[in-house]
């Protein structure tokens, strides 16, 4: 009996060690990838403006890695259900995406605007979980959400005045904040379940990490331009999670996420080109 117990312990020890090392590698990757992605989006904003930064931030630069980590840690079935709820989370985020720009334009300071818009986001996330399970309906509603946001955003009549760029130290704060949010969401997923995990997968990490700082340093109309760009990126998110929802349980993990990334980049690029052309035609 004792020898059998020792033999079982010897067999299970390497497995536990491998799992622990895999978890450690995922944690390190998780905490290093997110701030780099936040930095990339902020550099794009500084170089090409708020709209381009919004497009980059709207793509699944945080929610995509979150989905991948959840699949590794919780399994494909969990990931498929979470991706379905992420599509519903886009609708919840759409409510917040209308609220924040209007609050900014109406003169509400950034710290109140972000708290109020996040409150609206969580209220919407709670509501959408009561909708009947209908994958095609979730895709359709998520496609409608950015279109409605674009239609409801404030219209700027006067030409935009160039605003000072944010200080470099703010980038470090934004990077740390984005990394912290990703860590918290993935760590609490095991007791939140697939419902809230999916909703929180589209938690506005990039919005929280970028928009208040842009609001404070560049003004409310820069916020509106960011959100216009974000909506283009959201179509990429929709493509990403629709593919993950459909394929993660039936295809190899690398192929599923490779197809999702290609679809996200293609959709985001196509919509941003269309928006830019419309803006150019309106200006002329």
The pLDDT tens digits of the residues spanning 18-74 come to 444 445 556 676 677 777 877 787 787 777 776 677 677 667 777 787 788 778 888
Is 262 among the domain residues? yes
Identify whether 161 is part of a domain.
Answer: no
Q: At residue 127, does pLDDT exceed 50?
A: yes
Instruction: Specify whether the CB–CB gap between 145 and 91 falls below 8 A.
Output: yes
Alpha-carbon span 203 to 218, nearest angstrom:
24
What is the DSSP track for 148-196? HHHHHSPPP-SPPPP-PPPPHHHHHHHHHHHHHHHHHHHHTHHHHHHHH
* Residue 30 maps to a domain: yes
Whether 56 maps to a domain, the answer reads yes
Tell me which residue range forms the domain holding 28.
20-155+170-279
Predicted pLDDT of residue 25: 59
Three-state SS at 250: coil
The reply to whether 26 falls in a domain is yes
Number of compact structural domains in the chain: 1
Domain assignment present for 14: no
* Model pLDDT, residue 3: 55
Which of 76, 131, 96 is closest to 252 using CA atoms? 76
Of 27-31, 40-44, 125-129, 222-226, minimum mean pLDDT range: 27-31
pLDDT at 142 over 70: yes
Print burial letters for 121-137: b (CB count within 10 Å at least 16), e (below 16).
beebbeebeeeeeeeee
Residue 274 within a domain: yes
Alpha-carbon span 203 to 86, nearest angstrom: 9
pLDDT digits (tens, 9 = 90+) for 94-115: 989 999 999 999 999 999 999 9
Structural domain contains residue 260: yes
Q: What is the 3-state secondary structure (H, E, C) of 97-132?
A: HHHHHHHHHCCCCHHHHHHHHHHHHHHHHHHHCCCC
């Amino acid at each position: 009996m004792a020898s059998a117990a020792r033999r079982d312990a010897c067999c299970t020890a390497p497995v536990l060690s491998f799992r622990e090392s895999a978890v450690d590698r995922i944690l390190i990757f998780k905490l290093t990838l997110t701030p780099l992605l936040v930095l990339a989006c902020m550099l794009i904003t500084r170089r090409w403006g708020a709209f381009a930064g919004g497009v980059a931030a709207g793509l699944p630069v945080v929610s995509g890695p979150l989905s991948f980590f959840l699949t590794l840690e919780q399994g494909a079935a969990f990931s498929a259900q979470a991706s379905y709820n992420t599509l519903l989370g886009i609708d919840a985020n759409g409510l917040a995406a209308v609220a924040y720009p209007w609050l900014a334009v109406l003169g509400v300071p950034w710290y109140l605007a972000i708290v109020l818009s996040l409150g609206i986001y969580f209220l919407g996330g709670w509501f959408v979980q009561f909708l009947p399970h209908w994958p095609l309906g979730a895709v359709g509603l998520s496609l409608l959400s950015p279109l409605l946001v674009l239609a409801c955003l404030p219209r700027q009549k006067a030409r935009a005045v160039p605003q000072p760029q944010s200080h470099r130290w703010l980038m470090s704060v934004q990077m740390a904040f984005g990394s912290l949010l990703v860590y918290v969401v993935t760590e609490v997923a095991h007791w939140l379940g697939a419902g809230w995990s999916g909703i929180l997968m589209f938690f506005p990490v990039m919005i929280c990490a970028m928009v208040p700082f842009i609001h404070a340093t560049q003004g409310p109309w820069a916020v509106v331009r960011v959100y216009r760009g974000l909506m283009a990126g959201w179509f990429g998110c929709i493509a990403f999670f629709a593919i993950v929802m459909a394929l993660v349980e039936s295809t190899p993990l690398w192929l599923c996420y490779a197809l999702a990334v290609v679809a996200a980049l293609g959709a985001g690029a196509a919509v941003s080109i269309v928006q830019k052309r419309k803006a150019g035609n309106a200006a002329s």
